């Protein structure tokens, strides 16, 4: 006799559904019959499109997560967050400088941060958003870039911020500034790019394209492996 699948009650748009306990929020919504058009992206926890808030019955806490990664819980009340346009300031990365004034002039609301930590609590990546916003207020572009490196731009921090700051847009500007102006340059990479511009490997690539599968496998096995 086949084992019976454990079912748990969840509430989607106020309506109760009994769904398999092993499903993620996204799969549970689809299992319940919803066709998801918005708020769906990579389904792998990388794109940040499926930001979700939910509550648990008799628990006053507001929970946050990505619908494609968060497994359902009994008596979970679900609500997808629709897209909303958090401020994204226009700028030309080639025309601005990697200095504190750039942050404050481009995003003056940076200095409105209350240090409440709501942004950190909302982050599904468990990033220290409050910490990198403190670094932004000090004008420390490198620290902002490093601390926000794993940001997936889901927007939950901005959705919960009482000071109405677009933390993730401030962070990505700092990462762009750091990458263009402050990060150590890779000399071997610049050399290889120059070689590509000079078409140094065109003949070699042409020869590779002409090989069949057996030839490619043989070449792969004969390759020199660096120690």
Nearest Cα to Cα of residue 83 among 51, 107, 109, 54: 51
Q: Are 103 and 89 in contact (CB under 8 A)?
A: no
pLDDT at 3 over 90: no
State the number of CA atoms in the 13 A half-sphere of 134 facing the CB: 10
pLDDT for 84 equals: 67
User: In the predicted model, what is the mean pLDDT of residues 37-62?
Assistant: 86
Q: What is the pLDDT of residues 146-180, one digit of tens each?
A: 999 999 888 889 988 999 999 999 999 999 999 99
Q: Which residues contact 52 (CB under 8 A, 6 or more apart)?
A: 25, 39, 64, 65, 66, 67, 70, 78, 79, 80, 81
Q: Is the pTM of this model over 0.75?
A: no
pLDDT for 130 equals: 97
Q: What is the pLDDT of residues 91-128, one digit of tens each?
A: 999 999 999 999 999 999 999 999 999 999 989 889 99
The H or E element that residue 210 is part of is helix 202-210
pLDDT at 56 over 70: yes
Would you tell me the crossing angle of helices 129-137 and 167-177 to the nearest 10 degrees? Answer: 60
Q: In whole angstroms, what is the distance from residue 83 CA to residue 70 CA?
A: 19
CA distances from 153 to 45, 75, 163 (A): 11, 29, 18
Q: Are 5 and 20 in contact (CB under 8 A)?
A: yes
pLDDT for 28 equals: 95
pLDDT band at 1 (very low <50, low <70, confident <90, very high): very low
Q: Are 19 and 10 in contact (CB under 8 A)?
A: yes
| Domains of the chain, first to last | 7-80 (3.10.20.30), 100-182 (1.10.1060.10), 191-219 (no CATH)
- Structural Rg of the chain based on CA atoms: 24
Q: What is the pLDDT of residues 33-47, one digit of tens each?
A: 988 887 788 888 888
């Amino acid at each position: 006799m086949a084992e019976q699948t454990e079912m748990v009650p969840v509430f989607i748009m106020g309506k109760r559904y009994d769904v398999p306990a092993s499903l993620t929020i996204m799969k549970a919504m689809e299992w319940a019959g919803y066709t998801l058009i918005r708020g769906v992206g990579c389904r792998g926890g990388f794109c940040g499109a499926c930001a979700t808030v939910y509550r648990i019955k008799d628990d006053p806490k507001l929970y946050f997560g990505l619908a494609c990664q968060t497994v359902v819980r009994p008596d979970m009340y679900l609500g997808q967050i629709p897209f909303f346009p958090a401020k994204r300031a226009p700028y030309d990365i080639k025309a601005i400088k990697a200095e504190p004034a750039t942050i404050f002039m481009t995003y003056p609301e940076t200095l409105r941060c209350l240090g409440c930590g709501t942004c950190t609590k909302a982050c599904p990546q468990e990033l220290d958003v409050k910490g990198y916003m403190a670094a932004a207020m000090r004008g420390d572009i490198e620290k902002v870039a490093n601390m926000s490196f794993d940001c997936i731009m889901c927007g939950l921090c901005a959705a919960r911020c009482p000071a109405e700051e677009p933390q993730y847009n401030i962070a990505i500007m700092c990462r762009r500034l750091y990458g263009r102006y402050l990060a150590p340059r890779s000399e071997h990479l610049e050399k290889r790019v120059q070689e590509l511009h000079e078409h140094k490997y065109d003949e070699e690539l042409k020869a590779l394209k002409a090989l069949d599968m057996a030839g490619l496998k043989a070449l792969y096995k004969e390759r020199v492996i660096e120690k």
